[in-house]
Chains A and B, each alone.
Chain A
Amino acid sequence: GAVVSQHPSRVICKSGTSVKIECRSLDFQATTMFWYRQFPKKSLMLMATSNEGSKATYEQGVEKDKFLINHASLTLSTLTVTSAHPEDSSFYICSVQLAGSYEQYFGPGTRLTVT
């Protein structure tokens, strides 16, 4: 499988500020990465599909101007939560997909708390 890291593992920010979360594929080049959000005791909700060198594809109901995704290299995708509000507090998880497969390998997640 693939090894995926996320940074930071947890972050606390004030309402109105922006927060950037990094997702790195450590042992292979990922043309496709995914960003999920997970609420306590709930399943993963896909937010967007991030493709290297092109614009991300957002799921219905996810504000692309609020959740900025950049996939500038084959090993790094970033999610920036802009003008964060307390309701953005959640567990954000990224995943990478092996080329030619439907398997996804997940990062350890980032817990965001907006005060």
Chain B
Amino acid sequence: QKEVEQDPGPLSVPEGAIVSLNCTYSNSAFQYFMWYRQYSRKGPELLMYTYSSGNKEDGRFTAQVDKSSKYISLFIRDSQPSDSATYLCAMSYNTDKLIFGTGTRLQVFP
């Protein structure tokens, strides 16, 4: 079993839809959770960073962490075609290393 599981998609939604992206993990020691957005042939861009459980909101993006279920989510409201990218979850447990999910490819069509 991989430490971090993420559905690769692709996830295709119409413009304006609410998008839900998710990751599950197996190691209860993970404390730090991140979401990255990666456009094709570019480096990942940090979107959200949360510590432990709870919600964090930034504009159209909301990150949720449920440590009891070992489940994290990223919600995108009012999705735009420019949101079309691969979204990677990443997590860490008190070390420098990040463990990445495989990424979910999102396509938002006009």
Contact with B along A42-58 (1 / 0, CB 8 A): 11101001000000000
Q: In the complex the two chains form, is A46's CB within 8 Å of B41's CB? A: no
- Contact present for A97 and B46 (CB under 8 Å): no
Distance A102 CA – B97 CA, assembled complex (angstroms): 8
B31, closest chain A residue (CB): A102
Per-residue interface assignment for chain B, residues 76 to 110, with 1 indicating a CB less than 8 Å from any chain A CB and 0 otherwise: 00000000000010101000111011110100000
A76 to B44, CA, bound (A): 19
Complex interface residues of chain A between 18 and 71 (CB less than 8 A to chain B): 32, 34, 41-44, 46, 49
| Interface mask (A97-110 → B, CB under 8 Å = 1, otherwise 0) | 10000111111110
Size range of the chain A interface in the assembly: 20 to 34
> What CA separation (Å) do A32 and B90 show in the bound complex?
18
Cβ-Cβ contact count across A and B, 8 Å cutoff: 51
In whole angstroms, what is the CA distance A44 to B105 when docked? 14
Establish whether residues B32 and A102, one from each chain, have CB atoms under 8 Å apart when the complex forms: yes
Given A43-B88, A44-B88, A102-B92: A107 touches B43 (CB 8 Å cut-off): yes
* Minimum distance in angstroms from B18 CB to a CB of chain A: 25
CB-CB contacts below 8 Å: B52-78 with A: none
Identity of the chain A residue whose Cβ is nearest the Cβ of B99 in the assembled complex? A46
A96 to B19, CA, bound (A): 29
Residue ranges of B at the interface with A (Cβ–Cβ < 8 Å): 8, 32, 34, 36, 41-46, 49, 88, 90, 92, 96-98, 100-103, 105
A–B Cβ pairs within 8 angstroms, 24 of them = A1-B46, A42-B102, A43-B102, A44-B44, A44-B88, A44-B100, A46-B97, A46-B98, A91-B41, A93-B43, A93-B44, A102-B32, A102-B34, A102-B49, A102-B92, A102-B96, A103-B34, A103-B49, A104-B34, A104-B90, A105-B46, A106-B45, A106-B46, A109-B41
